[in-house]
Structure 1
Amino acid sequence: MSARERQENGRSRRKALPRSALGEYTASPRRCDPVVLLESQAKDRVPELVPIRYTRMLASPYAFFRGAAVIMAADLAAGENTGLGVQLCGDAHLSNFGLYASPERHLTFDLNDFDETLPGPWDWDVKRLVASTAVLCRSRGLDVARQESMVRACAQAYRSQMRELSQLGELDVWYAQSVVDAELLDTVEPLYAKEIRRTAAGALARGRQQAADKLTHSRDGRRHLRSDPPLIVPAGELVTDVVAHLYDIYMRKLIRDYVSSLRGDLRVLARRYRYVEMARKVVGVGSVGTRTWIVLFEGRSGRDPLLMQVKEARPSVLEAHLTRSSYPNAGERVVAGQRLMQASSDILLGWLHAIGPDGHHGDYYVRQLWDMKGSADVETMRPRVLTAYIQACGRALARAHSRSGDRVAIAAYLGKGDKADRALARFAIAYAEQNQCDYQALRAAAESGRITAA
């Protein structure tokens, strides 16, 4: 299909879904109780950790939004979409962007959470992102005018970046990335540069050695994972010594399964580390209660610690509303989506199917625990800096979508003007109101004893 035909395809989508319709949101009469949806996710999670999840979600309406991807997926599915497909992040809120190290050891800014990734309409991700902007601004007490201004800035950044990318060749799009370096700092205002330097310094302080120093201690001349229940619990404290010993033996097979998911040359690297021990760790907001493990490895020298995260992967919340994933292993789905959307990914990113020390069968994806990862504190960021950050997220999402979707058609649908920006702002403000109602419903459920918060 020629570029002109792709443009016509994008413009023709306006007939089925006018850009003004992007702003429509009305709760479906058949809308499910939001607390019921959250409870449905709790059924197969670690029971003693579920109250922690609810507690973290109750911290603020924005924290609730972060954990409520399953609710918004149902709401998006109840409405119309453009029909222009991309690889979706599935949970593209503001706190799921951040800094991490590329294989070349450059700090890059990109999406960093792909638990819900699945092919679907690009506008679902954009609506999740702009809604998170409105929810955050409302949660921070900013007025509606400021909320709308920031949402429009986000939508405009996505639209203009997609338009720029639509004019590039395929390889140029694939190579595009946001590198945090001196050249970038020279192009931004001093206020923004100061914030970027602060966040970058935090990311640089989260390397392999820092992870080992924080999460391990020395005993009998060897490193061991620290215990900090219920947030970090070594496997030996969850089961009997006999079961723990048998599981250590089983780990050798699991490691072989994981290594087989890596590229050939990286298998050589991975095999140079030996397994030491593992612990269950609580992570995130929406992920709390899923089985997540940190695994300690050591290089052949014995003074080369490596901490890996082995995180349970479940079916995407989008699969109830879109085509089911083509990957039989949910961990492979996450890894494939991450590799497709990120400009560069963790070289040790892989997957496996495993039986945990607690006897639970599950799919998992594996990555380095800390690899110069950093995120901005959007709940305390000054408004001017927050606006710049929101725009950076919009541009990063457009770049991620352009790798898998028809960027020419999407850019043509959005157009040169701000009609889509204004519509998305209306949607975001309306959905922030819905999110507030759902947050209050969870609070009421906790106060009545329907759910238990830690």
Structure 2
Amino acid sequence: MTTALSDHLSPSERAAYGKAARARVPRTGHAAFEPDGRRPDPIGVIERQSAERVPELVPIRYGRMLESPFRFYRGAAAIMAADLGPAPHTGITTQLCGDAHLLNFRLLASPERHLLFDINDFDETLPGPFEWDVKRLATSFVIAARANAFTAGERRAIVRTCVQAYRTRMHDLAAMRTLDVWYAQDDADQLQAILQERLDKNARRRASRAKAKARSRDNIQAFDKLTRPADGRRRRINPDPPLITPIADLLPDEERSELERTLRGLLQSYRRSLSPERRHLLSRFHPVDMARKVVGVGSVGTRCWIVLMLGRDDEDPLLLQAKEAGESVLAPYAAAARQRNQGQRVVAGQRLMQAAGDIFLGWDRVTGIDGRQRDFYVRQLHDWKGIAQPETMPPDTMELFGRLCGASLARAHARSGDPIAIAAYLGKSDAFDRALAEFAESYADQNERDHRALADAVEGGRVTAQSV
């Protein structure tokens, strides 16, 4: 059920719709994951993605995915979409993150300079059945917990806590007024106060350090880390090939000049996607250097540029990231995007799901030096970002983190979907929680098999992996 449909129904009718979805997919039915002979070759899935990416960077993607099952999972959103898409689903639609693994939940800055806990990555965002995001999140916790050698009981408790938090928060949101749902956010200071009673002294210390570190990860920190004085002139982006390659080192002079014009044109025209006051703010800065940057795991090989801009003087920087946006991995299985520009799709999904977003978030379409049109979205490179470190978490801390992620995902879904219908489907019992714990274990097994398949493909010479 879409938000547009639910607008014309009473709360009781919306709840009835949610309960009726149990006939299509019983809550216990989510426990099953049994791949059949029609399952696509997982290596073929990621090879098709790689065919659209920068060829010399693709081996880095495979090298990162090869490092561990969790790293593989981060790069395998398309594989999971192919597994979930054809299966029966609730039909209760909301805006999905599309890649809601645990590392895509982090501390972020609001425009008012509050530190919030929210979803961060929206490359795959698209409307779809709410449970797809929940399943991807739950499975990520099992994979991370296995890497830490947690017991089956500890893993089960983590997932059930995460899903229970999603279900409980959704019931709370279902009882709220529409505007109150939209204004809801997860303030980091409030969350820490709530968790104080549940964290031991060491965990509280780590949480405080994480908040302080997040606040330090801003434009100034990125400016100091990524740039250097160049021959007495203004600062330039520091090369670190192949991960960071300034445009001056990337192409011959003639092609470089054309690429610089393309990127400057992107910056100029992307301004139209910003509100007037933010266009004015951006006009106070001018670009001085650009570089290609390798980002993430699943995104490696997409065209991604960082742009160094300066305002008042050399100590007044703004670092922007322009990242290529392709079709969502959910597109073959979910509702079609309303936006014809894939960058706009990413931005629209982020604005729907996040409680507060980057003031410079926007999009554009440009024609590259190869004559092909590509869509991009633009955002700040760093703005108070703090990321979790699951490899350092004991079971109780990971369980608390799962609670935060589950509750935050529910809030994000409720902004665009129907919290009454979702809450009615989930119900008050733990049937959905238990089913997701079973599903997550089964899919983690499949992820390990797919990870081994990649290792075999590298060993057999089918694909090339590079460690950087």
TM-score tier, shorter chain, comes to over 0.9
Q: Which amino acid aligns with 2:85?
A: A
Summarize the Cα distance change of 1:451–1:183 in structure 2 as closer, same or farther, 3 Å threshold: closer
- Residue 283 (structure 1) aligned with residue 295 (structure 2): yes
1:100-137: per-residue Cα shift (whole Å, max 9, x none)? 10001011000000000000000111111111111221
What are the within-5 Å matches in structure 2 for residues 261-410 of structure 1? 261-356=273-368, 361-410=373-422
The aligned counterpart of 1:198 is 209
Task: Tell me the distance in 2 between the aligned counterparts of 1:358 and 1:15.
Answer: 51
8 Å CA contact 2:154, 2:395 repeated in 1: no
Task: Tell me the distance in 2 between the aligned counterparts of 1:73 and 1:159.
Answer: 22
Q: Which amino acid aligns with 1:196?
A: A
8 Å CA contact 1:352, 1:363 repeated in 2: yes
The aligned counterpart of 2:23 is 15
The aligned counterpart of 1:453 is 465
Task: Tell me the distance in 2 between the aligned counterparts of 1:252 and 1:61.
Answer: 39
Task: Tell me the distance in 2 between the aligned counterparts of 1:204 and 1:446.
Answer: 40
**SS at 2:74 equivalent:** helix
Task: Tell me the distance in 2 between the aligned counterparts of 1:196 and 1:398.
Answer: 22
1:264-294: per-residue Cα shift (whole Å, max 9, x none)? 1111101111011210001100000111110
How far 1:360 sits from its partner (Å)? Answer: 5.4
Task: Tell me the distance in 2 between the aligned counterparts of 1:275 and 1:377.
Answer: 34
Summarize the Cα distance change of 1:384–1:357 in structure 2 as closer, same or farther, 3 Å threshold: farther
What are the within-5 Å matches in structure 2 for residues 46-445 of structure 1? 46-181=54-189, 184-185=192-193, 187-188=195-196, 189-191=198-200, 192-219=203-230, 220-356=232-368, 361-445=373-457
Q: Compute the TM-score of the two structures, normalised by the length of structure 1.
A: 0.97
Bigger CA drift: 12-21 or 389-398?
Answer: 12-21
Task: Tell me the distance in 1 between the aligned counterparts of 2:344 and 2:454.
Answer: 33
Task: Tell me the distance in 2 between the aligned counterparts of 1:360 and 1:303.
Answer: 37
Q: Which amino acid aligns with 1:216?
A: T
Summarize the Cα distance change of 1:380–1:357 in structure 2 as closer, same or farther, 3 Å threshold: farther
Task: Tell me the distance in 2 between the aligned counterparts of 1:384 and 1:107.
Answer: 24
Summarize the Cα distance change of 1:288–1:149 in structure 2 as closer, same or farther, 3 Å threshold: same
Task: Tell me the distance in 2 between the aligned counterparts of 1:196 and 1:357.
Answer: 46
How far 1:394 sits from its partner (Å)? Answer: 0.4
Task: Tell me the distance in 2 between the aligned counterparts of 1:282 and 1:86.
Answer: 31
Q: Which amino acid aligns with 1:36?
A: G
**SS at 1:336 equivalent:** helix
Q: CA RMSD in A?
A: 1.5
Task: Tell me the distance in 2 between the aligned counterparts of 1:370 and 1:383.
Answer: 30
1:362-382: per-residue Cα shift (whole Å, max 9, x none)? 111000000011101112222
8 Å CA contact 2:245, 2:293 repeated in 1: yes
Bigger CA drift: 182-191 or 77-86?
Answer: 182-191
Q: Which amino acid aligns with 1:195?
A: R
Task: Tell me the distance in 2 between the aligned counterparts of 1:273 and 1:159.
Answer: 45
**Structure 2: runs of 5+ lacking an equivalent:** 1-8
8 Å CA contact 2:262, 2:368 repeated in 1: no
Bigger CA drift: 56-65 or 141-150?
Answer: 141-150
The aligned counterpart of 1:37 is 45
8 Å CA contact 1:239, 1:357 repeated in 2: no
How far 1:78 sits from its partner (Å)? Answer: 2.5
**Structure 1: runs of 5+ lacking an equivalent:** none
8 Å CA contact 1:354, 1:362 repeated in 2: yes
Q: Which amino acid aligns with 1:390?
A: G
Q: Which amino acid aligns with 1:24?
A: A
1:175-203: per-residue Cα shift (whole Å, max 9, x none)? 11111126733652343432321211221
**SS at 1:324 equivalent:** coil
Task: Tell me the distance in 2 between the aligned counterparts of 1:190 and 1:321.
Answer: 41
Task: Tell me the distance in 2 between the aligned counterparts of 1:183 and 1:417.
Answer: 25
1:282-339: per-residue Cα shift (whole Å, max 9, x none)? 1100000111110010113343111111111000000011233221110000000000
How far 1:442 sits from its partner (Å)? Answer: 0.6
1:59-80: per-residue Cα shift (whole Å, max 9, x none)? 1111111110000001001211
Question: Alignment length, in residue pairs?
Answer: 454
How far 1:352 sits from its partner (Å)? Answer: 1.0
Task: Tell me the distance in 2 between the aligned counterparts of 1:190 and 1:119.
Answer: 36
Task: Tell me the distance in 2 between the aligned counterparts of 1:266 and 1:420.
Answer: 43
Task: Tell me the distance in 2 between the aligned counterparts of 1:182 and 1:85.
Answer: 30
**SS at 1:347 equivalent:** coil
Q: Which amino acid aligns with 1:69?
A: A
1:393-423: per-residue Cα shift (whole Å, max 9, x none)? 0001000000011100100110111011111
Task: Tell me the distance in 2 between the aligned counterparts of 1:359 and 1:292.
Answer: 17
Q: Compute the TM-score of the two structures, normalised by the length of structure 2.
A: 0.94
